[in-house]
């Protein structure tokens, strides 16, 4: 087994409150590996926000400009909550899974950290499962953080054979 150094970690965050758990887990991994961190938020079309984030009534987005401000504020607040000024933040627009994979490839990250939300089957049909799509299409190892309130299990790592397990 070939041990690779993990130099850069991409942490994909959405507006769900569980993203705090995802950000903290990814940041802790980065600190343990002495790796750089990139926080990513992906914007979708304004109309789709009401469907995707309907349970987050606090998002009062009426225009593209409101969406841009909300996304930038969210990702910067996430960075500030981790209390690390050297974290890079990026906001992309488009399909969640495609944007995450494209950003990871562009930035040559070594690991993608992403949450796994518990969704209803209807939402899954309409939206697709972002985590599943990233998992199926990624050639980069993933650290998947379960964010379901009922899920007490630990995170799991895909493509374990590519990570230096001794450091995890």
Domains and CATH numbers, the chain: 8-167 (3.40.50.620)
pTM: 0.74
The pLDDT score that the predictor gives to residue 104 is: 97
Dist CA 119 CA 99 (whole Å) = 21
Interatomic CA distance for residues 74 and 57, integer angstroms: 15
pLDDT recorded at residue 166: 36
Cα angle value 131/116/143 (rounded, 5°): 75
Determine the length of the chain.
Answer: 168
Q: How many helices, marked H, and strands, marked E, lie in the chain?
A: 6, 6
Tokens found for residue 109 = 């990250």
pLDDT tens digits in sequence order for the chain, 168 residues long: 567 789 999 999 987 788 889 999 999 999 999 999 999 999 875 444 444 444 444 455 556 677 778 788 888 888 988 877 789 999 998 888 999 999 999 999 999 999 886 655 544 544 447 888 888 899 999 998 887 655 444 443 333 334 333 333
Q: How far is residue 23's CA from residue 84's CA, in Å, rounded to a whole number?
A: 12
Q: Would you call 101 helix, strand, or coil by DSSP?
A: helix
- Tell me, what's the pLDDT at 83? 77
Tokens standing for residue 35: 């790796």
């Amino acid at each position: 087994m070939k041990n690779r150094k993990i130099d850069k970690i991409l942490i994909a965050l959405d507006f769900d409150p569980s993203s705090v758990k995802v950000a903290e887990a990814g940041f802790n991994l980065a600190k343990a590996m002495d790796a750089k961190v990139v926080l990513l938020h992906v914007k979708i079309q304004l109309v789709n926000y009401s469907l995707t984030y309907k349970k987050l009534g606090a998002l009062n987005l009426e225009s593209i400009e409101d969406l841009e401000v909300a996304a930038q504020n969210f990702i910067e607040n996430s960075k500030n909550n981790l209390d690390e000024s050297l974290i890079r933040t990026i906001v992309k627009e488009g399909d969640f899974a495609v944007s995450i994979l494209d950003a990871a490839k562009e930035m040559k990250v070594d690991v993608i950290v992403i949450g796994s939300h518990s969704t209803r089957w209807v939402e899954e049909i309409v939206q697709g499962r972002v985590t599943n799509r990233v998992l199926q299409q990624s050639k980069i190892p993933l650290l998947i953080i379960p964010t379901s309130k009922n899920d007490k299990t630990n995170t799991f790592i895909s493509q374990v054979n590519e990570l230096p397990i001794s450091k995890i």
